[in-house]
Chain A
Amino acid sequence: MIELTAAVLVLVPLVGGGLAWVLPADGSRRVAAVAMTVTAVVGLGLSGVCFGLGAIRAFGGLLVLDALGAYVLALTVVVAALAMAASPRYLRHELESGALRALDEARYYALLLWFLAGLVAIPLLDNLGLLWVAIEATTVVSALLVGITRTPQAIEAAWKYLILGTIGLGFALLGTLLAYASSVPALGETSEALAWTRLVAVAPMLDPNMLRLAFLFALVGYGTKMGLVPFHTWLPDAHSQAPSPISALLSGVTLNAALYALVRFHLVAIGGLGEGYSSTLLIGFGLLTIAVALPFMVAQGDLKRLLAYSSVEHMGILALAIGFGGPLALLGGTLHMGLHSLAKSSLFLSAGELVQQYGTPRLARLRGALGAAPIAGGAFGTGIVLLAGLPPSGIFVTEFAIVLGGIQRGHVLAAAVAALLLSLAFAALAFHGARLIFGQPQSTTPQGGRGRWLAIRLAVPLAVVALLGLWTPDPIAAALDAVRAILGGTHG
């Protein structure tokens, strides 16, 4: 039964993608919708079961879904559903404006589904090697999506994404190799030796030097995918040039996936080497990432790049939270991961609306969105405020928890610096946001999109973010705590 569901979860989008590729445009759209719905339902169901009854294992332990995986999976399908829901409207505009060719629509959906397949596979696999394979696969597929509009910039972005991503992930592979090498003596030359469940179990017996290098390279590799400075260089290009729904997916899901992989290594590392090593690295890179992202946000000229750099910043926050460790920071980090996904994807979608309407992503030309596009503009403004962690936003709570947790764990300076940088990042975001929302739009800008559906799509995730800032229902609280316990590793 579980086997079946798990198989369905991965196979439906896979096969659906195949269908979508061959079918004509509207057919592919329907297929995509159906496949997406199924995947979403199954995915949520599966994670629900996992949260309810504890970890799920299938295919002789090849698939394992624990609370952390379930959480990532749930986020993945939700954000993917949002992106999918936004796609038809987006594509229609692009097709009308001639940026896309008729043929591209089917391909878009096919690639989107394959991308999805890779993404949902990631949290299921109990094998660092296959994990790597899945992530590399998503990279390659999403590279095709990034460049689907054949503009020079899009091609440039996709090319850099492909090369830098592949080389970066090469390092991750090296890390995986070393982890394998470190565990072979303990577990023998079987795929067992790469199952993180086993690795965590036998962590103390692993060869420490190997493990050290392993985590180091995993950090470089998955750090590249997750956008840690200085490996982030591809991220603003890809996230800004991709079609907005894809940007939402990249920022809302892929980054989490990479983080997820890194966390698995981190857990093995703290099992084998104790706190100090990997945590220090994570804190260091987290701070560096936030600090470097800041100036790029301050002096940014492109709306989607602004959001991309804010994603970089938030990945830094997450790295920081996990590096801090300790119940409070980890709980904060857990919730932060989810809320960032929701807020950021909604922001990318509303930003996409605005970019299409104004016909440019240049901030200098985006003015008076509230007047010109009440729905998208309002959603964008609200999103910025929530993302910046002003109450009632869950992100206020999470950032509070992370800084507090950090200081309680003795990382006073790091936490203090982080708090300062975060507030400055807000200043940067608010600066651009205010000028975008208010002010006078050029008379030439056409009226923005209306429609209840659009409003709902954009508003619901924001509403969730806001609500969780005041009140987390007990089931959610329990789920978060379960995830927190796993992140806590040996000292949950």
Chain B
Amino acid sequence: MIPAPEEIVLAGPAGWLWLAAAGTLILAAIAPLASRRLASIGALLSTGAGLSILGFGIVVLIGGGTYTAEWGQVLGLAPIALHYDGLSAVFLVALGLTSAAASLTVVGRPVRSRVEASAYPLFLASMLLVLGARDAFSFLLAWELMALLSALLVVGLRPTRSVVSAGYLYLAMTHVATAALLVAFALLATGSGGALDFVAWRGAAPSLSPMVHDAVFVLAFLGFGTKAGTLPLHAWLPRAHPVAPSHVSALMSGVMIKTGIYGLVRILVDVLGGGPDWWGVAILVAGAFSAVLGVLYALMQHDLKRLLAFHSIENIGIILLGLGAAIILAAHDQDALAAMALTAALFHSINHAVFKSLLFLGAGAVLAATGLRDLNRLGGLARAMPVTALAFGIGAAAISGLPPFNGFASEWLVFQGLLGAAGSTPVPPLERMGAGLAIGALALTSALAVACFVKATGVTFLGLPRSSAAADAHDVGRPARLALTLLAAACVALGLGAGPAVAALTRVAATLIPPGSAAVTATVSAAPAAGPAATYAALAIGLLLVPAVAFAVFALRRAGSARRVDTWTCGIAPQPAFQYNATSFAKPIRLFFGRLLLPEREIHIEYHPGTPFPLAMRYRSEVTLILEDRVFRPAHALSVRFAELVRRVQSGSLQLYLAYTVGAVLVLLWWAR
């Protein structure tokens, strides 16, 4: 129940698009409550809203310009105060694309519960507000709304015990993180005489003392980092994302955690205008650890959605590498390079949104088709669900950073940013070395990502089915397939069209970090550009690959149809159990990185009675999540024990209680004497 608009400056086509999106979302939220039959229409409406958000984002991104609006009042504060600019637009594009596709997958599916069905569009709306909020109050309001709704969607109304605890952990962590944000914002507000407006803060930021700047940085990193799921604030992510409904997981991994990145850029770069280079170093370190550990843990999973969740941590790490490089470079006035690194971070944010939601929706399709998330029981699905398989494969290639897909383009830019940081002399040697190490970390990460997605794709879609459920799977409905195709196409489009995309994002980055006149040392372009600067001619390379591959394909075709025979398995009829599965595929890496992963395994062998011949064998191997298992759990247990200890104070003895009062009185008298 929001009162009539007080001020709407959401003008022009963009304005209409925004209003269309908002209106559709509200309708979509009401529809399921109205009647169960309308629920699927709600999904359709959400799709439409997603598309208009996408349109809105593109218009703002290309057309530039800003759009503001304001509604309602509480204690003289406006609950909804919007101001969309280029930075918002970057994430709006991600939101639009992802939400359109995600909503499309649930069109025509029976709704699990009407409450959730109506919470879902509101969740989209909350993200739309977060990206537009122009002051601390409306931002935190939308932010908390987003957290609450996503948590509701994760938990649902009839959750199992583990789901509840996952949702609880998520909500609690994000709420504590928000407290940090609140303090950070309050500090900024005091700087600008109590004004809550981001713009006002930008003006007042220089007048704040460096100590305040650092405090804000730390708090903002805690607050936004938790939402983004960077190490060591990630504990909630791999637990909450897998248990959510797949289209929600897609949105959470694709967009919601990006709002953390958005917040970091908005506050650190836009409002504070960068900072000392130790900020950048801190972000770089967090990013490197997130990337490497994220992908390593992902490799160790055999639950498909959990695997994808860990990859979100990895990609957030990659984005942070770009951001960290940008801040370090900006701190030493290498603005051209800094802008490029920032562009890298923004571009990877969009790309990750696309391919991660694609992968989650693909996993959702697999789940819908087989009811399985356990890779070790999947296999051979490519035959039954070719579209899903192809789309998932493209997503896998993209997230593994392979040309000519979009993931490679943004990782290439991140590499260039780090290279710039390592190479520019004004940056102190140690920081340069840090950037060098980050390059190594990123290389390791992308190689491990290749390994992980060979495993995920291969074990799921190739070979022989490992369970009956996988054996008689059927591809998902047309809307879902359409959504997957859409996103896969986006992966290719953003890969080949990286040139224009990067150009647009560079304009945005330039508004945040004005790049002086210095020459750019690396460019992603469509057409080749000779010269000393490193280039990635995305379109040209892509187009060159086509004939190169096509020729070979043609040659293969000429050989005529192959004679079909069984796979050679040393003379026995091939069986699914012969294949490498998720666990065995990852074994070499599990052993290579044993010091880090601390794997533990148990093998049960039952023998034929009285013989040395095994009858049945069971093998289980789990790795240790160092932070969770060795730090967080003990800490939590400790704090609870502490609470138990404190509760002894309330011993039930009246006399003791009196003693407290008297003691307090005496202390007070002594204090006030």
Q: Are B179 and A216 interface neighbours, CB within 8 A?
A: no
Stretch with Cβ within 8 A of A (4 or more), from B136-144, B271-279, B315-323, B470-478:
B136-144
Q: Would you call B189 an interface residue if the criterion is a C-beta within 8 Å of the partner chain's C-beta atoms?
A: yes
**A30–B73 alpha-carbon span in the complex (Å):** 42
Q: Are A167 and B661 interface neighbours, CB within 8 A?
A: yes
Residue of B nearest to A219 (CB): B668
Contact of A160 among B157, B164, B185, B657 (CB under 8 A): B657
Q: Would you call A480 an interface residue if the criterion is a C-beta within 8 Å of the partner chain's C-beta atoms?
A: yes
Q: Are B650 and A419 interface neighbours, CB within 8 A?
A: no
Q: How far is the CB of A274 from chain B (nearest CB, A)?
A: 15
Q: Are A299 and B79 interface neighbours, CB within 8 A?
A: no
**A332–B640 alpha-carbon span in the complex (Å):** 32
A469 proximity list for chain B (CB < 8 A): 74, 79
Those of A274-300 within 8 Å (CB) of chain B:
281, 292, 294-296, 298-299
Stretch with Cβ within 8 A of A (4 or more), from B46-54, B167-175, B507-515:
B167-175
Q: Are A439 and B164 interface neighbours, CB within 8 A?
A: yes
Contact of A295 among B140, B178, B642 (CB under 8 A): B642
**A438–B3 alpha-carbon span in the complex (Å):** 35
Residue of A nearest to B193 (CB): A408
Q: Would you call B629 an interface residue if the criterion is a C-beta within 8 Å of the partner chain's C-beta atoms?
A: no
**A377–B76 alpha-carbon span in the complex (Å):** 34
Which among A299, A412, A469 has the highest number of chain B CB atoms within 10 Å? A299
Q: Would you call B503 an interface residue if the criterion is a C-beta within 8 Å of the partner chain's C-beta atoms?
A: no
**A21–B159 alpha-carbon span in the complex (Å):** 49
B644 proximity list for chain A (CB < 8 A): 299
B179 proximity list for chain A (CB < 8 A): 419-420, 422-423
A407 proximity list for chain B (CB < 8 A): 183, 186-187, 189-190
Residue of B nearest to A468 (CB): B74
**A216–B73 alpha-carbon span in the complex (Å):** 39
Q: How far is the CB of B644 from chain A (nearest CB, A)?
A: 5
B553 proximity list for chain A (CB < 8 A): none
Q: Are B186 and A408 interface neighbours, CB within 8 A?
A: yes
Q: Would you call A168 an interface residue if the criterion is a C-beta within 8 Å of the partner chain's C-beta atoms?
A: yes
Q: How far is the CB of B66 from chain A (nearest CB, A)?
A: 25
Q: Are B79 and A216 interface neighbours, CB within 8 A?
A: no
Residue of B nearest to A399 (CB): B182
**A423–B2 alpha-carbon span in the complex (Å):** 27
Q: How far is the CB of B46 from chain A (nearest CB, A)?
A: 21
B643 proximity list for chain A (CB < 8 A): 294-296, 298-299
A145 proximity list for chain B (CB < 8 A): none
Q: Are B647 and A296 interface neighbours, CB within 8 A?
A: yes
Q: How far is the CB of B146 from chain A (nearest CB, A)?
A: 10
Q: Are A408 and B189 interface neighbours, CB within 8 A?
A: yes
A408 proximity list for chain B (CB < 8 A): 186, 189-190, 194
Q: Are B642 and A216 interface neighbours, CB within 8 A?
A: no
Q: Would you call B161 an interface residue if the criterion is a C-beta within 8 Å of the partner chain's C-beta atoms?
A: yes
Contact of A396 among B144, B186, B190 (CB under 8 A): B144
Which among A159, A331, A403, A438 has the highest number of chain B CB atoms within 10 Å? A438
Q: Are B190 and A397 interface neighbours, CB within 8 A?
A: no
Q: Are A163 and B194 interface neighbours, CB within 8 A?
A: no
Q: Would you call B552 an interface residue if the criterion is a C-beta within 8 Å of the partner chain's C-beta atoms?
A: no
Those of A253-289 within 8 Å (CB) of chain B:
281
A299-B647, A423-B178, A470-B79 in contact; A231/B661 too (CB < 8 A)? yes
Residue of B nearest to A231 (CB): B661
A236-B650, A438-B159 in contact; A216/B668 too (CB < 8 A)? yes
Q: Would you call A23 an interface residue if the criterion is a C-beta within 8 Å of the partner chain's C-beta atoms?
A: no
Those of B186-204 within 8 Å (CB) of chain A:
186-187, 189-190, 194
Q: Are A230 and B664 interface neighbours, CB within 8 A?
A: yes
B161 proximity list for chain A (CB < 8 A): 439
Stretch with Cβ within 8 A of B (4 or more), from A43-51, A110-118, A194-202, A385-393:
A385-393
Q: Are A424 and B176 interface neighbours, CB within 8 A?
A: yes
Q: Are B164 and A434 interface neighbours, CB within 8 A?
A: yes
Q: Would you call A222 an interface residue if the criterion is a C-beta within 8 Å of the partner chain's C-beta atoms?
A: no
**A295–B77 alpha-carbon span in the complex (Å):** 33
Q: Are A335 and B75 interface neighbours, CB within 8 A?
A: yes
Q: Would you call A454 an interface residue if the criterion is a C-beta within 8 Å of the partner chain's C-beta atoms?
A: no
B75 proximity list for chain A (CB < 8 A): 328, 331-332, 335, 397-398, 401, 472, 477, 480
Q: Are B669 and A216 interface neighbours, CB within 8 A?
A: yes
Q: How far is the CB of B549 from chain A (nearest CB, A)?
A: 53
**A332–B76 alpha-carbon span in the complex (Å):** 11
Q: Are B640 and A396 interface neighbours, CB within 8 A?
A: no
A164 proximity list for chain B (CB < 8 A): 654, 657-658, 661
Contact of A419 among B183, B649, B654, B660 (CB under 8 A): B183
Residue of B nearest to A331 (CB): B75
Q: Would you call A370 an interface residue if the criterion is a C-beta within 8 Å of the partner chain's C-beta atoms?
A: yes
A171-B665, A397-B74 in contact; A298/B639 too (CB < 8 A)? yes
A132 proximity list for chain B (CB < 8 A): none
B136 proximity list for chain A (CB < 8 A): 404
**A475–B649 alpha-carbon span in the complex (Å):** 45
Contact of B157 among A294, A370, A394 (CB under 8 A): A370
B176 proximity list for chain A (CB < 8 A): 420, 423-424, 427
Q: Would you call B72 an interface residue if the criterion is a C-beta within 8 Å of the partner chain's C-beta atoms?
A: yes
Q: Are A434 and B168 interface neighbours, CB within 8 A?
A: yes
Q: Would you call B672 an interface residue if the criterion is a C-beta within 8 Å of the partner chain's C-beta atoms?
A: yes
B73 proximity list for chain A (CB < 8 A): 471-472, 477
Those of A446-477 within 8 Å (CB) of chain B:
467-472, 477
**A419–B158 alpha-carbon span in the complex (Å):** 32
A398 proximity list for chain B (CB < 8 A): 75
Q: How far is the CB of A367 from chain B (nearest CB, A)?
A: 10
Residue of B nearest to A213 (CB): B672
Can you name 29 A-B residue pairings with CB atoms under 8 Å? A159-B654, A160-B657, A163-B654, A164-B657, A164-B661, A167-B658, A216-B669, A220-B661, A220-B664, A236-B650, A281-B668, A295-B643, A295-B647, A296-B646, A298-B639, A298-B640, A335-B75, A385-B148, A391-B145, A394-B74, A407-B183, A408-B194, A419-B182, A419-B183, A426-B172, A427-B175, A470-B2, A471-B73, A471-B79
4 additional contacts (CB under 8 A) given A171-B665, A299-B647, A471-B2: A298-B639, A388-B175, A392-B145, A403-B186
